Structure 1
Amino acid sequence: MKIYLLEDNSIQMGRLEDAVAHELMTFGKDLSCVQSFDKPDQLLSAITSNTSDQIFFLDIEIKGEDKKGLDIAKIIRQNNPYAIIAFVTTHIEFMPQAFGVTAYKYINKTLDEASFRKEIGETIAQVFPINATTTDEFFLYKTESQLINLPMDQILYLSTSDIKHHVHLQTIHTLMDIRANLADFKKIHKKLYPCHRSYIVNTDMIISVNLTNYEATLINGQVLPVSRMKIGKIAQIVEERGRGC
C-alpha cells in the first residue's frame, strides 16, 4: 500500500499527516507507506506503479492555482484507473468536477477533528476490505497485456461494451475497460453470476430484487436488468445470503 499526500500549506499538511497516522494505527500500519508533497510534479515523479492499493489525498488549490489538484487527479486517473482519490479542500464549488475524475471522497478542511479523521479513516479502509481474507475473495484476471487483481467487495458487475471483444468492469470507484469477452468471466468467481446476456453481477452487491420488473438493485443504487430465466435464481441467492447460508 502507498499513500500520497499533496498539500502546500505546512499547517494543513501536519494535520493531514496526523490524521493519516492515527487511522493507519487501527490497521497496524505506520507512516512508512506515506509520502508527502507540496509540489505536484514531485508527487507524480514519485509514483512508480499503478495498483489498486494506492491512495491519494489531494488539495485542490496548490500554489495559488485554483484547480491544480484536479489537474493532477486527472493525470493519476489516466495512468491508474484503480487508485483511490480523495480531495481534501475548502473549495466546495469544485465538488462536481472532483467526482468527474471518479474521486472516492471529498473531505472538507473545515470539519472538526473527529469528523475529519473519520473521513480519512473511511478512505484508507478501502484498501483493507473486511471480508477479503483469502485469495478466494479477490477478482483475478490475467492476460498477456493485463493483470487485474481487486478485492471482490469492490466489484459491482461486468457488462458488454459497444467495442467488439471489450468488457466493462464497474467497481465501486471507477469504470474499467477490459479486452475480453463477457463469457470469459462466467466462472472466474463463485459470487459472479450471469444475470442477463449483457451483465454478470457480483451477487454480494445486490440489495433488492424486483420480481415483477425483472431487476436487481445494487448497493450504489444502480439497477441492472435480470432475465426472466435468471430472476428466480438471483432472488434465491440474495435470500440465502440474508440467512447466512
Structure 2
Amino acid sequence: MNIFILEDDCNQQRHLKSMVQRISQEISLTDLNINIFSSTDQLRLGLPLPSKENVFILDLEINGIKTAGLEISKLIRQHDELANIIFITVHDEFVYTTYKYRVSALDFIAKDRGNIHDELKKDLIHINNEIQSSLVEETFTYKSYSETLQIPLKNICYFEVNPDNTHSCIMVTTDNKEIQLNYNLRELQKIDHRFFRCHRSYLVNPLQIKQIDFLHHVVIFYNGLTCPVSRRHEKALFNLIKR
C-alpha cells in the first residue's frame, strides 16, 4: 500500500506518519510505503502511477489556503481513478463541498471530533480488503505447452501474433518478458473480454495503457513499451481507457 500524506505542519506530519505505521502493524500490512508532502506543488510533481494501492491522506488547508486539499484532490482523481482519497481536517464545514468536487472521497475525518486513529484504521482495513480481493480476481489463466498457469492481469502489456506459428501468440509482460501461448489472437479475444483488439496483430491490456499517440498511431504503456493501433480502433480504445 502506498500512502501519500499532504500536511504542511511538521508536527502533524510526524503524528500522521506514526499513526499510519502503528495501524499498519495492528492490521498486519507488510508492504507499506509512506510519502509526505508539505505543499500541493510537491504532491503534484510526485503523483504515482494509477493504482488501487494508492491512498492519499489530505489536509484541506495547506499554507493558508482553506480549499487547497480539495483542489489537489481534483487533479489526483483526474490522474488516478483507482486511488483512495481521505480528508483529515479541522474544516469539517467543507464535508458537503467534497461532493461538489466529485472526487469520490472514501472518508472525511474531522481532527477535532472522534478518534482519528480508529477512523483511519477502519479506512485502511477497508482499502486493504479491496486490494486483496482485486488481486484474487484480476488474474489471467493461460496454457503454455503442457502447463496451465496464472499471471496477474496488471503484469500484462499486450499480445502479438506469432509469425512462426499461426496457432499461437506471444504475451509481452510489464517486465519485458515474452511468453508463447497456445492461442491465436482471435481465440484469446473470445476467451477473455478484458483485452482489446487495437490492431490485426495486437491485443492490448487497457489497464497498462498510459496514452495513445494519435499522430504516430501507437499505444504507449506505463513501462515505456509501445505497439501500433489502427486508426479505426483509436477512438474506441481511447474511450475505454478514460473510464
- Range of TM-score over shorter length: 0.5 to 0.7
| Equivalent residue, structure 2, for 1:205 | none
Q: Which residue of 2 aligns with 1:68?
A: 68
Q: For residues 91-240 of structure 1, what are the structure 2 equivalents within 5 Å?
A: 91-99=91-99, 100-112=102-114, 115-129=115-129, 132=132, 136-138=136-138, 141-143=194-196, 144=204, 146-147=206-207, 178=240
TM-score (norm: length of structure 2): 0.55
CA distance in 1, matches of 2:93, 2:134: 42
Query: What TM-score do the two structures reach when normalised by structure 1?
Result: 0.54
Superposition deviation, residue 29 in structure 1 = 3.6
Q: Aligned equivalents of 1:145 and 1:32: distance in 2? A: 27
5+ long unaligned stretches in structure 1: 149-164, 167-176, 181-245
Once the two structures are superposed, residues 160-179 of structure 1 have per-residue CA deviations (whole angstroms, 9 ceiling, x without a partner) of xxxxx98xxxxxxxxxx847
| Contact 2:207–2:241 (CA under 8 A) maintained in structure 1 | no
Counterpart in the other structure of 1:52: 52
Check 1:58–1:179 CA distance in 2 against 1; reply closer, same or farther (3 A cut).
closer
* Equivalent-residue separation in structure 1 for 2:83 and 2:105 (angstroms): 9
8 Å CA contact 2:89, 2:110 repeated in 1: yes
Distance 1:123 1:134 in 2: 17
**Mapped contact 1:50–1:79 kept (Cα < 8 A):** yes
Q: How far is the alpha carbon of 1:138 from its aligned partner?
A: 3.9
Displacement, 1:132? 3.9
Checking the alignment, whether the CA contact within 8 Å between 1:4 and 1:34 is kept in structure 2 is yes
The share of aligned pairs that are identical, in percent, is 26
What is the alpha-carbon root mean square deviation over aligned residues? 2.9
User: How big is the shift at 1:134?
Assistant: 8.3
Q: Can you list the C-alpha shifts for 1:107-128, whole angstroms capped at 9, x where unaligned?
A: 111135xx21111112222332
* C-alpha distance in structure 2 between counterparts of 1:70 and 1:63, whole Å: 13
Measured after TM superposition, the shift of residue 6 of structure 1 is 0.3
Q: Give the conservation status (yes or no) of the 8 Å contact 2:50–2:83.
A: yes
Once the two structures are TM-superposed, the CA of residue 74 in structure 1 deviates from its matched residue by: 0.2
2:135, 2:15 → 1: CA distance?
36
Are the aligned partners of 1:87 and 1:98 in contact in 2 as well (CA < 8 Å)? no
Q: Which amino acid aligns with 1:45?
A: L
Distance 1:135 1:34, change over 3 A: closer
Cα 1:138/1:129, change in 2 over 3 Å: farther
61-70 or 11-20: bigger deviation = 11-20
Shift of residue 30, structure 1, vs aligned partner: 6.5
Gaps of 5+ in 2: 140-152, 154-193, 197-203, 209-234
Query: Secondary structure of 1:128's partner?
Result: helix
Deviates more, 1:73-82 or 1:129-138: 129-138
Partners in 1 of 2:27 and 2:59 — Cα distance? 24
Aligned residues: 152
